[in-house]
Chains A and B, each alone.
Chain A
């Protein structure tokens, strides 16, 4: 997971840049012509009906609708409990895009435009108007990279867009509520995570092993004494150090990703 050095492909950077350009051309007119779509999935509709729509800080209403519909399929609300909508994962992403994930904002904007184009071209409707089964099949196309290609919608890699949205959705579902997601600790409860504690005694561990340790529903920053300013530092793994100098040998798309994902141990 998180301890692996990330390879930054120059080609990916170029693709991102061209996707932005494509979005500016293709997305603008559509956005102007398209009325904001209502949430069409049952879960999203139910969630929308249950409470007034909260304002998004960074995303447009149309982008927010699309993101909510996507995260509702990634981690649906069902008999196994609340999903990413209830966790407010989309709000986590929206808020983070104004902060630690700021470098991803263009990738999101371009990705949403490409995603929307792909849905209309391949399914004849915007994503939010598709039934859940069709929504899943679109997401499978995007995840596999099948939606890649200017004719298909994504000028850049559709798989890269999917991976980015999924990673951030997981953060919004399972991360500390301080960052705006994991509302009511629904993500931690789904996993059976017994919660943040600053001390776990041997007796606590034994209670955990006997299934007698009640979950502790607290954010790290609900405990006294921790410096909150540091929570605003850092950057997301997906954020590279910027464009690389011109070098004919650095087209890393052709380089075998040697041990990516393997070195999970850091020390």
Chain B
């Protein structure tokens, strides 16, 4: 028997990077908020510098709700479905922002206007066949104030490259104008990162330090980064990583208006006869609860957002909540982050300490920062090289076909080369396609008996061409810094579950092709908002979190300012 709880103003489903930001403007506006989080509360004591636990055994991602509902995947509807183990995201107050890399980019203006800018510069025939890409309902300028807000509220370190149109060659000269500098200077570089930057300059490129939601010095009474080398899939033992668990969530709690309910697994969003959301049902410790609310913000991550909508069927929404236009799950894409390049150097890189966000970026070949007239694709990739190495990972390094994988010869080789390789992170702009989508798996279910998400998606020719093109550039960069051997990964196939999953509840003005409106509220269910990268229709060539957080702040602020209209 479900327990019906006292009503509240807003329920936020999921207190991760997106929901954890939204609770601050909501509570500051005087609204009472219940935050439902599937995971537990973790603190700095839980974040030991332990490679076996963090990177081998996947703690704290393991033993989580998400791990019991890992999406299945297949490249297309004609192929068999793969089952995979290990969800890339975690549950917990703060969500994956507890242990993410914290690269906190603004998108390039082109990412908001792919259709119109491609048509203007190259002709609309250059939009890849089968792509369902649309311009966003607004441009970069609309989001700029919210980027600024989140950079200062959460805390982002970096080097500006364009303040109000004034370019600064120390930063990314391709970035869009920002109203002011970052609140903190960028993370420091190692000697080898300096060397890579110098090599890039020698090629005529524009190297710059990347932005990170990590303190480069003391900020908001929390420590600066310790550079200890366990940031990658590890939470911060010094609270220098600006997860929502140490930034916006505690400030929202301090208003006295945020109630956090952890270990709560939401099973449905419920509607009244008029088709308006009236409550959220969740299970905690085996007991079912119904939490009534005047508005609901769904912030559980792309796969879970889509899943919860599709599972929430009612008379008003027989195919799932907000899905009377059949758009939930469509326009799915995951960032093409594969197709990496790995290099071997004839000298030690001294990369044992550092973090993935501490590095040097190249944007010369990202988005539309270069002329595509003679090329056979649109978009591009950001090249990122960083300092991050741990011993088990180092021992598993590529041996470049120079020695066997074990035995005395391997041992002699690893002794010399353990600190001499580097793998680049190349994020490529990725488009949505008609044949790439999410739906409910027909056979695989979670322990509660609910189907998991099935991913049907693969990287298409446009993205594979970007991959090959950026691999060429990356190899040239490594060679310029003295690399003696290079290995390239395949240019891409099936889209498996990932931390950069977009779409499924896309934002746009047209309800025939989009689930939410320009403010992030459902076209069909007026008091339901959706937060996270599931509303994004393009990926850009950089990590999604800051954009997701800026959109979340904007949606929450819209709700607070239009409270009566939205909840009427």
Q: Which residues of A approach B to under 8 Å, CB–CB?
A: 1-3, 5-8, 73-76, 78, 80-81, 83, 100, 136, 139, 143, 166, 170-171, 173-176, 178-179, 187-188, 190-194, 196-202, 204-206, 208-209, 220-221, 223, 225-228, 230-231, 233-237, 239-241, 244-245, 247, 249-252, 254-256, 258-259, 261-267
Contact = CB atoms under 8 A, between A and B. Distances in A.
A225 B494 CA distance: 42
B207 interface: no
A231 B394 contact: no
Interface in B47-88: 47-53, 55-60, 62-63, 67-68, 70, 75, 79-86, 88
B350 A240 contact: no
Contact of A262 (B191, B338, B391, B405): B338
Contacts of B226: 198-200
Interface residues of B, number: 89
B391 A230 contact: no
Contact of A170 (B188, B229, B395, B543): B395
Contacts of A251: 80
B contact face: mostly helix, strand, loop, or mixed: loop
A233 B57 CA distance: 8
Contacts of A80: 408, 411-412, 415
Contact of B394 (A78, A193, A196, A202): A193
Given A173-B395, A262-B340, A2 B50 contact: no
Given A231-B50, A234-B58, A255-B79, A263 B414 contact: no
Contacts of A263: 337-338, 496, 498
Contact of A81 (B68, B86, B350, B415): B415
Contact of A171 (B70, B392, B419): B392
Contact of B81 (A179, A231, A249): A249
A250 B414 contact: no
Contacts of B95: none
Nearest to B394: A191
A84 to B, nearest CB: 10
A191 B408 contact: no
A267 B396 contact: no
B340 to A, nearest CB: 6
Interface stretch (B245-253, B271-279, B485-493, B513-521): B485-493
Contacts of A225: 44-45, 237
A70 B496 CA distance: 35
B338 A234 contact: no
B411 A75 contact: yes
Residue of B51, B392, B418, B492 with highest tally of chain A CB at under 10 A: B392
B418 A175 contact: no
B60 A5 contact: no
A196 B57 CA distance: 18
Among B238, B338, B412, max chain A CB count under 10 A is at: B338
A74 B353 CA distance: 28
B450 interface: no
B83 A78 contact: no
A193 to B, nearest CB: 5
B100 interface: yes
Contacts of A7: 82-84
B502 interface: no
User: 6 tightest CB-CB pairs across the interface, nearest first?
Assistant: A234-B59, A234-B57, A258-B493, A267-B101, A249-B80, A226-B48
B352 interface: yes
Interface in B329-362: 337-340, 348, 350, 352-353, 356
A241 B70 contact: yes
Contact of A264 (B62, B70, B79, B423): B423
Contacts of B113: none
B52 A252 contact: no
A259 B80 contact: no
Interface string B528-544: 00000000000000010
